[in-house]
Structure 1
Amino acid sequence: MSKPVIACSMRIKNVAMWIGDSLSETSKLADHIVILDDGSTDNTPSICRKFPKVRYYRQFCSISDQVRDKNKLLKYTLALNPDWVLALDGDEVLEKKAASKILDEIAEIDPQNPQHTIFRLRLLYFWNDLNHYRNENSKWGQFWKDALWTTWGQNLNTLQFLPSGFAENHHCGRIPKGIVGNRKDIDVWVKHYGYVYFWQRKQKAEFYLRTEKKPSYLNLINGNAEKGMILEEWKERV
């Protein structure tokens, strides 16, 4: 079987701190990287355009809506006829062994009758610095997410992102609704940098409080999110 076509889709905004590293690692795996930039005002656009595999789209919308944007991104991605689609955020970086591991897993899948159609990857929440990640038995330390799915055996016309019920359709998920088949956790780690520094956590807590009116996000800055925290030193796996 010839190498399957892999596309990566990203909805991003103001991720200049991380997007270069993210695209460098993702380019080792993906044939196409489809980016929808929701109005970045930092150096994100110029960094993205340096990578030849990137198909870059930029928009400026007065109202934020994740479902609207992710359905638009899905349309752009499926137009490339990928066999597999990887969904990442702009503040996420694949570990160095990710490309070979994912290709090994895909090689085990039967395109005519896929045993698994969704792969779940482990997100490592880096905390306080770039050398340590959360590794306790909590939602922060053991966080697995649907992130890679195949078009094999799917009715692509029925796939879509649906309203989440949250303000601005936050938390609508990484992959579209309507994918049929089984999930599998695979031993691939993704370095998630969106909560590394306290100022980032404070910014997110205030954003969600303002948009969703939910004080629970204040746990990010009042210490509750760190109860029982175990920090593990990061070392690339080979």
Structure 2
Amino acid sequence: MPKVTAMMIVRNEANRYLERCLKALTNYVDELVILDDASTDATPEICLSFPMVKLYCRDTPLFLKDEAQLRHELWHYTVATNPEWILALDADEFLETRAVRELPYLLKQDFFPAISFRLFDCWGREDYYRVDGLWNPWLRGFSIYLVKYQPWLDAAWPLQKFHCGRLPLAYRHLPHLESDLRIKHLGWANPADIRAKYERAVSQDPTFKYMPREHYESILWPADKIKLEKWQD
């Protein structure tokens, strides 16, 4: 099976989903390059408890100031490992369990240099995902998370400090295979996190350059207005 290198940015993830995420990745990833954005908790220690992890640590945080620069740093460390395929996931995202069986077939095919997946935002709990508005994974469609490394491609990111994407621009337009494997995103699963995430989002994008105002406001909608569907394994 081709070598799979995952890459991830983390900051203060010790009490969230990090350990679960890393355990899941051990089932189908050969190595994991992590850039710690100056965590002040036990995040680095958790990362180093997994032998497959190559950890790099910043002394000062950068994510909320210039995400594109941070992503570029992570890419630099990742390609230094001589990867074949690169998987870009966050510490609160999980490919569904059947990925262990199906990823080998996706990686061995020679027709597509990139694989795209749908992301499902679990909302207020881990077993229901959101389907109203721009949260709907069926309307939002596929995004590329897994690419074959091609060193001749340019590694530039867009010149924007937020919502800059996880992969270099050149990789986002590759022919890609749309996989029916789903990504389960738990970033909104804890109700206690939702308001803080809303406040961070609007502080980063006060003029609604990256997302419509209505989408940001929908983060704080009452439960009876939000549409959910049951996650089925």
TM over 0.5: yes
Contact 1:35 1:54 in 2 (8 A): yes
Match of 2:112 in 1: 116
Deviation at 1:104, TM superposition (A): 0.9
Alignment of 1:1-238 (within 5 A): 3-16=1-14, 17-61=16-60, 63=62, 64-109=65-110, 115-134=111-130, 136=131, 138-142=133-137, 143=140, 144-151=142-149, 154-156=150-152, 158-164=154-160, 169-179=161-171, 181-214=174-207, 216=213, 217-223=216-222, 227=225, 229-232=227-230, 234-236=231-233
Contact 1:67 1:172 in 2 (8 A): yes
Decide which moves more: 40-49 or 19-28: 40-49
SS in structure 1 opposite 2:194? helix
Stretches of structure 2 that go unaligned for 5 or more consecutive residues are none
SS in structure 1 opposite 2:19? helix
Measured against aligned partners, the alpha-carbon deviations of 1:147-196 in whole angstroms (never above 9, x if no partner) come to 00012xx34462222222xxxx1111121112363022101112101111
SS in structure 2 opposite 1:86? strand
Residues 59, 226 of structure 1: CA spacing in aligned structure 2 closer, same or farther, 3 A cutoff?
farther
Query: Structure 2 counterpart of 1:123, which letter?
Result: L
Measured against aligned partners, the alpha-carbon deviations of 1:51-83 in whole angstroms (never above 9, x if no partner) come to 110011111325531111111111111111111
Stretches of structure 1 that go unaligned for 5 or more consecutive residues are 110-114
Aligned partners of 1:12, 1:62: CA distance in 2, in Å?
10
Aligned positions, number:
220
Identity %: 28
Contact 1:208 1:214 in 2 (8 A): no
Query: Structure 2 counterpart of 1:211, which letter?
Result: Q
Aligned partners of 2:17, 2:194: CA distance in 1, in Å?
16
Report the aligned-residue RMSD.
2.1
